[in-house]
Structure 1
Amino acid sequence: MPDSQLARSVAALQPRAREELAELVAFRSVADPEQYPPQECRAAAEWVADALRGEGFEDVALLDTPDGTQSVYGYLPGPAGARTVLLYAHYDVQPPLDEAAWLSPPFELTERDGRWYGRGAADCKGGVIMHLTALRALRENGGVPVGVKVIVEGSEEQGTGGLERYAEAHPELLRADAVVVGDAGNFRVGLPTVTATLRGMTLVRVKVDTLAGNLHSGQFGGAAPDALAALIRILDSLREEDGSTRVTGLTSDASWEGLTYPEEDFRSDARVLDGVELIGSGSVADRIWARPAVTVLGIDCPPVVGATPSVQASAGALVSLRVPPGTDAAEATRLLTAHLEQAAPWGAKVAVEQVGQGQPFRADSDSPAYAAMAGAMAEAYEGRQMAIAGQGGSIPLCNTLASLYPEAEILLIGLSEPEAQIHAVNESVSPQELERLSLTEALFLRAYAAG
């Protein structure tokens, strides 16, 4: 069957892709019971399981992972002697943040200016739809030429490691010759990209205590140690003067070799305000792909509205540290913890609790699967050659799979290009990218089977 027919099949499947993505986006599947009821995640998992059953998958199951969430698994047998490919995505999403800042409801897929908006549209419910579309197109054009395992995770955004621990306890379940992780993104819309490195991460809660209880700032302020002020001092110690990350003992001067990221493009992608400088030193690619990056994700303290004139007895923060390839995440956690404790002023009591952790990842981009993907991308993108980039984010499962299956070839593609604004308000997906990457995956599976 000519590949032009495969492309026509993918194009004809786009209305169904949009309809199903709308159904999946409608689930408020934030894997945090303190924010959304757990049944939203369970309903999303059931939707994915039903979709796999509808495509003829066998052994479809909702796996209860150690962190209390569920991952969806299914297996589609291939021809005798065929290779097996594992397709990965996740159905859990980030919270919508300020819903009033969304131009359309975050859990209602909305088309606007040629893009589809909704929480998880790109990260990573669109990845689920990409996998389904590719498989459907192949079935319409001679069949799926490889055995396919699908795993759709339920807690990737929380970093709680449920699927990693489950995979380690059931090492044969996800074994495959190649793995396609549908949770990355092109460097730019229309530029086909495979992500070859991922930073790992560690996530900690830090709590500072200085007093037995809050005190009147007029009566005690000036001598009573303020826990919020102590926390600010501690957090500020994590930055050099130029904004570079500073964690005592952690190397932060590595360089990135490969695809460059012009500063003007980064400023535009990141929507940096006029007159505001970028932080750090080295190239942009060095800073976001090859070096550690600390971010204060939230602070527990009184809001401005309703605040009283008090010296604060306690304050807390959630701190994320992105860890580049070549650095052990557990060691980075130890160093970050020690730094936070040692930076406390005035003898303030500091408690650090690890919340999540994931190792960094580096793929072998010279493998046969990468050659097959390069050919597939060039065809789907009408001659544009595949770029290889890094990614500052974390997908902890990648390192687990690489450890469990050292012979497996791992490729990362997906829909989270810069315009998607994942993790922010008004997240969106490009329907053109969804179509082209679905075709890419179908072409890849065909080429990989023949290799």
Structure 2
Amino acid sequence: MATTQVLMEAALTMAAAAKEADLADLFEELRIPSVSTLPERRQDCLRNAEWLRARLERLGFKAEVVDVIKDGLPVVVAEWNGRPGKPHLTIYGHYDVQPPDPLDEWQSPPFEPEIRDGRIYARGCADNKGNHMATLKAVEHLVAAGGPPINLRFLFEGEEEITGESLPRYLRANGAKLKTDAVLIWDGSFDDEDNPTLATALRGLLYLELHAHGAAVDLHSGTFGGVAPNPINTLARIIGELKDRDGHITVPGFYDQVQPPSPEELAIWKRKDKRYIEAILKASGPRALEGEPGFLAFERT
């Protein structure tokens, strides 16, 4: 096997020569309207999953489309184990995208990629097809140059935008055979346009659905208002009591398992916090931020 440096140089040379062809492949996937939130786009999501499987199979991967749950969107799994004894890298991506609404704010059709001022405009280009296509193309050129220096696995899901259950269930059921030395996730953002960002963790997510019930029938507010229980008032009180006036979360036990940042993390956040706040204000529009006092913006988010 050629040295890693030789492989890299050969792959980069091939990538430079194949720029137009690589861009055409990206555009091909961007034209698939794989919107996971819309039932009428289900077949497009399935088509995108099959498109990825076929692409990876052509690169020499053992690839399959795995249906995990009924009426869910499948997981695409692909393995290349051509380096026995070498480390194993798992690369994550997702093929589903957000709906393109409102359509009247697009200067070009969302699923017809267009280059303007050196930027690609299309739904899913930044989140996440452009990112995972860059990885696919890197692997393609490494394969052509002699093969990646390590073992690789691709995991693509189609429910990232809807926080679906297919991928979590697949991981729980197949943990033993999915053992890996590292995971690379091409789905995130930059702190600013001048500096690269390496994300090491993400905040959690919790959905709750509350149902408040009042009278058994509709009541006239002129007769019953002020005495009959009003579910709207109940919900407003519950939501209002989740935090106190200082932004402190009042749910019992909420802070019990919150892990404080390490001294190294805190030092990095302190250096970046002012710039981070400026970026938030610029992007979101408010003149001031809120949140629990005593914490950096990085800690709150």
TM class by shorter chain equals: 0.7 to 0.9
Instruction: Report if the CA contact (8 A) 2:7-2:142 is conserved.
Output: no
Residues 237-256 of structure 1: pairs in structure 2 closer than 5 A: 237-251=241-255, 254-255=260-261
TM-score scaled by length of structure 2? 0.81
CA shift in 2, pair 1:153/1:8, >3 Å: same
CA shift in 2, pair 1:225/1:108, >3 Å: farther
Deviation (angstroms), 1:62: 0.7
SS at match of 2:120: strand
Instruction: Report if the CA contact (8 A) 2:93-2:186 is conserved.
Output: yes
Identify which of 66, 69, 80 aligns with 2:69: 66
Structure showing the higher helix proportion among its residues: 2
Q: Which segments of structure 1 move beyond 6 Å, counting only runs of 4 or more?
A: none
Deviation (angstroms), 1:274: 4.8
CA shift in 2, pair 1:62/1:5, >3 Å: closer
Which residue is equivalent to 1:32?
Answer: 37
CA shift in 2, pair 1:275/1:190, >3 Å: closer
Which residue is equivalent to 2:299?
Answer: 286
Identify which of 248, 253, 259 aligns with 2:268: 259
1:221-249 CA deviation, whole Å, 9 max, x = no partner? 33333323332222222233244544332
Q: Partners of 1:213 and 1:70 in 2: how far apart?
A: 44
Deviation (angstroms), 1:186: 3.5
Q: Partners of 2:136 and 2:11 in 1: how far apart?
A: 14
Identify which of 42, 45, 51 aligns with 2:49: 45
Pair 1:95-2:99 in alignment: yes
Identify which of 120, 129, 135 aligns with 1:116: 120
Which residue is equivalent to 1:135?
Answer: 139
Q: Which runs of 5+ in 2 are unaligned?
A: 1-5
Instruction: Give the letter aligned to residue 143 of structure 2.
Output: R
CA shift in 2, pair 1:21/1:236, >3 Å: farther
Q: Partners of 2:90 and 2:172 in 1: how far apart?
A: 16
Instruction: Give the letter aligned to residue 108 of structure 1.
Output: E
Q: Partners of 2:251 and 2:18 in 1: how far apart?
A: 49
Q: Partners of 2:277 and 2:107 in 1: how far apart?
A: 24
Q: Which runs of 5+ in 1 are unaligned?
A: 289-451
Aligned length: 286
Which residue is equivalent to 1:15?
Answer: 20
Q: Partners of 1:134 and 1:280 in 2: how far apart?
A: 43
SS at match of 2:211: strand
Which residue is equivalent to 1:389?
Answer: none
SS at match of 2:234: helix
Q: Partners of 1:90 and 1:145 in 2: how far apart?
A: 25
Deviation (angstroms), 1:177: 2.7
Which residue is equivalent to 2:287?
Answer: 275
Higher relative contact order (CA 8 A, sep 6+): 1
CA shift in 2, pair 1:211/1:97, >3 Å: farther
Instruction: Give the letter aligned to residue 93 of structure 1.
Output: V
Which residue is equivalent to 2:3?
Answer: none
Instruction: Report if the CA contact (8 A) 1:167-1:173 is conserved.
Output: no
Deviation (angstroms), 1:131: 1.7
1:304-336 CA deviation, whole Å, 9 max, x = no partner? xxxxxxxxxxxxxxxxxxxxxxxxxxxxxxxxx
TM-score scaled by length of structure 1? 0.56
CA shift in 2, pair 1:274/1:203, >3 Å: closer
Q: Partners of 2:267 and 2:24 in 1: how far apart?
A: 38
- RMSD over aligned Cα atoms: 2.8
Instruction: Report if the CA contact (8 A) 1:28-1:36 is conserved.
Output: no
CA shift in 2, pair 1:269/1:38, >3 Å: same
Deviation (angstroms), 1:253: 9.3
1:104-155 CA deviation, whole Å, 9 max, x = no partner? 4433333334332333222222232022111122134333222221111122
Instruction: Give the letter aligned to residue 134 of structure 2.
Output: M
Deviation (angstroms), 1:88: 1.3
Q: Partners of 1:173 and 1:184 in 2: how far apart?
A: 27
SS at match of 2:235: helix
Identify which of 158, 161, 166 aligns with 1:154: 158
Larger Rg: 2
SS at match of 1:208: coil
